[in-house]
Amino acid sequence: MKKYLLSSIVTLVLACLSLVVHSQDIALSQANKSGIYRKSQKIVVKALVKNLKPDTLHIRVYKNNNQLLGQKNILAGSDSLVVYEGSFVEPCSIIVEVTEGGKNASLGMLVEPEKLKPGAKCPKDFDLYWNNLKKSLNALQWDLKTAVVVGTESDKGYNCEDVEINCLGTKPVRGYFAKPEKAAPKSLPIVLLVHAAGVKGSWCRSEPANAMKYARLGALCFDLNAHGMLNDQPESYYVDLENGELKSYWLQGLTNKDEVYFRGMYLRLLRTIDFLTKQPEWDGKRILVIGESQGGGQALIAAGLDTRVSAVVAIVPAMCDWFGSLAGRMGGWPQPFETDDSKEDMLKALPYFDAANILKSSKAIIFTEIGLIDMTCPSTSVYTAINQAKGQKIIYTVPYRPHHQPEGVLAKTWQEDYYKPRELFISNYLK
């Protein structure tokens, strides 16, 4: 394990030595290709325009995602030209955007991100609030319902069940739980899979195949849906939820800490971990939580609220530094503090559910991928949150990544430099 962690850092360094290519027609590069800069260090971004007739490039530069620092037009030629130069003395993010006709490219940077601090203070009774909720959760008698999922010939040797577990709040835990048959007691790690935002999309739903993937790798795996909704229902069920009860769920209850929607989501995380740790096959050491976007945020939350979580893979995570705007930065998804609800009431309610506060108790290994041009889960919000954690951090910053995975000519580069190291970390951690 230690050998791999060292190699992953080397992989990151090597990845930073390659030229960043943004499209077939506009290529951007920067003086420090890692995208990470020190205080007052000069940032230089160059553009190389290919396959385009000499024309005007439109340059926009943003600080902390939403502050327009400046814009200008440059006549493009066939040679590489400097489109931006600057330096900063305070921790911040910078995005350089270049457009020409229908072509565009963006590149991101961070200045001293390890010094970023949360936009709002942690409540004094934060620990008391969550300890009381955990006591109530622990006192709740178990009501467990399971249904065996009938597999194929290739699933022999593994068990998979559709599981429902009672929980505090109005919704139970629901998902799929899979494990190898006849595993010895105390022999297997736990993998908890958590999902991105939404309701009806395929990426929002638990699937037996997701749980079986990690069972085949020798793990106890639970694929948890975020909302406590039923599994394997007709499409109309999920459409009705998205248009009705769960419409804009992320904005529900923002001004009351006992009504914030994410409260129930976080409690279901804790209940699921409690269920998994009761399995006799758990090795008593390893709990790995994996998620992207909202799922990445849930992974961080799990590590902060339950110190048994030993590692997380959090890809462009949400729920980080919701009060970033108080420090002149864009907050993380879903940017609740940027809504029209009472700011005073949100300041009393939301800090209990912000990863920037919850992570302060975590000693888990945090493997995270951060998109430096991400406008949904800004790079500053993610760094602010993980800065609070006390465990080892393996951080992959991707200067050309927006919120979604890179496409086109960048997809292969991203897969080699970032996706493959992620999968290698997971497989090695589970060995």
6 belongs to a structural domain: no
pLDDT of residue 289: 98
- Sequence length of the chain is 431
Phi first, then psi, for residue 367 (nearest 5°) are: -105, 115
* Integer Cα distance of 86 and 62 in angstroms: 12
Please check whether residues 56 and 152 belong to one and the same domain. no
Q: What is the pTM of this model?
A: 0.94
51 belongs to a structural domain: yes
Q: Contact, 408 vs 25, CB < 8 A?
A: no
Tell me how many domains the chain contains.
Answer: 2
Residue-wise pLDDT tens for the chain (431 aa)? 444 443 333 334 333 433 454 555 788 999 887 899 999 999 999 998 876 666 789 999 999 999 999 999 988 766 678 999 999 999 999 999 999 888 899 999 999 999 999 999 999 999 999 999 999 999 999 999 999 998 776 788 999 999 999 999 999 999 999 999 999 999 999 999 999 999 999 999 999 999 999 999 999 999 999 999 999 999 999 999 999 999 999 999 999 999 999 999 999 999 999 999 999 999 999 999 999 999 999 999 999 999 999 999 999 999 999 999 999 999 999 999 999 999 999 999 999 999 999 999 999 999 999 999 999 999 999 999 999 999 999 999 999 999 999 998 899 999 999 999 999 999 999 99
Please check whether residues 68 and 97 belong to one and the same domain. yes
Please check whether residues 376 and 414 belong to one and the same domain. yes
Please check whether residues 291 and 403 belong to one and the same domain. yes
Please check whether residues 248 and 137 belong to one and the same domain. yes
pLDDT of residue 6: 37
* Integer Cα distance of 295 and 318 in angstroms: 8
pLDDT of residue 13: 38
* CATH code of residue 44: 2.60.40.1930
Q: Which tokens is 142 given? A: 């178990």
Please check whether residues 300 and 384 belong to one and the same domain. yes
Provide the residue range defining the domain that includes 24: 19-115
Please check whether residues 86 and 143 belong to one and the same domain. no
pLDDT of residue 367: 98
Please check whether residues 103 and 169 belong to one and the same domain. no
Q: Contact, 87 vs 109, CB < 8 A?
A: no
Q: How many CB atoms lie within 10 A of CB 118?
A: 25
11 belongs to a structural domain: no
* CATH code of residue 380: 3.40.50.1820
pLDDT of residue 21: 44
Asked which of 46, 81, 115 is the last residue of a domain, the reply is: 115
1 belongs to a structural domain: no
Q: Which residue type occupies 228?
A: G
Please check whether residues 80 and 169 belong to one and the same domain. no
Asked which of 115, 136, 152 is the last residue of a domain, the reply is: 115
Please check whether residues 217 and 144 belong to one and the same domain. yes
Please check whether residues 32 and 79 belong to one and the same domain. yes
Asked which of 60, 80, 115 is the last residue of a domain, the reply is: 115
Please check whether residues 211 and 295 belong to one and the same domain. yes
pLDDT of residue 100: 86
